[in-house]
Amino acid sequence: MDTAPKDTEPLDTAAPRETAPRALITGSTSGIGAAFSAQLAQEGYDLVLVARGAQRLEAQAAQLRERWGIGASAVPADLATEAGIAAVAEVIDAERIDVLVNNAGYGLASSALETPVAELAAMSTVLLRAVQVLSWHAARRMLDRGRGGIVTVTSLAALTTMGEYAADKAAATVFTESLAAELAGTPVTATAVLPGFVATQFHAAMGAQRPTFPRLAWLRPEQVAREALAAARRGAVTCVPGAQYRVLAAVAPLVPRPLVRWASAGFGFDRAARAAPVS
């Protein structure tokens, strides 16, 4: 992903610049997505920001334009819907997007059987279908232009059996790896990023209490974005931010699957106890 700014115009205009690289980031307004947005803006990228809340999205775009002098546009879209995915795909087809960051996502506070099936489907649409559709459109446009990079934020949960979230993240990881294989030998890359625990509002947003792990267990969103972009620029297929989690990811395949299932179930006990029954 050789898309760092080169010979760009001075960073003194809020309008999109023809020679500036451009990145589209889903789930851009908080957590890891906000960190990607800030990092790329600082590097001189023009941005296309995607999230559900239009007001918050516009405020983020304005703030980034004012601070970094870049072009930043807001595309409100609900990626849990086919219409929302289609709207973002249209932007990818119509505009030059050098870097796509698939970051939008959320979790559920209840287990699969305690969650309405429509909610399971909506989360799967955000975590997997949106990744597939947007990556497909981006990869084809990037191949036509002869450069580009796709970064998909999945999760180390993909190595576990912790419900629908883990299943969707595992599928998104495999999809990105397979896409990277198809793109091998081209100037376009695809990188799956598998963070561990990150200090964001992820748990609060799904109505769950953040696990009380030692400080060492928590990554900063800025570290995840920085390491992910560095890995993508190296052409890495996968990236596990944080040395502690790289060790865990290396050991995980050696753990017997029954033990993985046991540990995953144990981790979900507290969540299941707090969940309200489905009516």
What are 6-47's pLDDT values in tens digits?
A: 433 332 334 556 779 999 999 999 999 999 999 999 999 999
Asked about 45 being catalytic, the answer comes back as no
Residue type, 131: V
Q: Rounded to whole angstroms, what are the CA distances from 148 to 14, 28, 197, 237? A: 23, 19, 28, 14
Q: Which residues are within 8 A (CB) of 240 and not within 5 positions of it... i.e. 6 or more apart?
A: 156, 193, 194, 195, 196, 246, 249
Sheet holding 188-193, edge to edge: 72-76, 46-51, 22-26, 99-102, 148-153, 188-193, 238-239
Can you give the pTM of this predicted structure?
Answer: 0.85
**pLDDT above 70 (res 61):** yes
Greater model confidence, 153 or 275: 153
For 117-154, the pLDDT digits (tens) are 999 999 999 999 999 999 999 999 999 999 999 999 99
**Binning pLDDT at 50, 70 and 90, where does residue 213 land?**
low
| Catalytic residue of the set 45, 106, 165, 245 | 165
| CB burial of residue 50 (10 Å; 0-12, 13-18, 19+) | buried
Tell me the DSSP string of 22-61. EEEEESTTSHHHHHHHHHHHHTT-EEEEEES-HHHHHHHH
At residue 169, φ and ψ (nearest 5 deg) are -65, -35
For 79-101, the pLDDT digits (tens) are 999 999 999 999 999 999 999 99
Q: 3-class SS at 227? A: helix
Q: Residue 188: in which H helix or E strand, if any?
A: strand 188-193
Whole-angstrom Cα distance, residue 153 to residue 57? 20
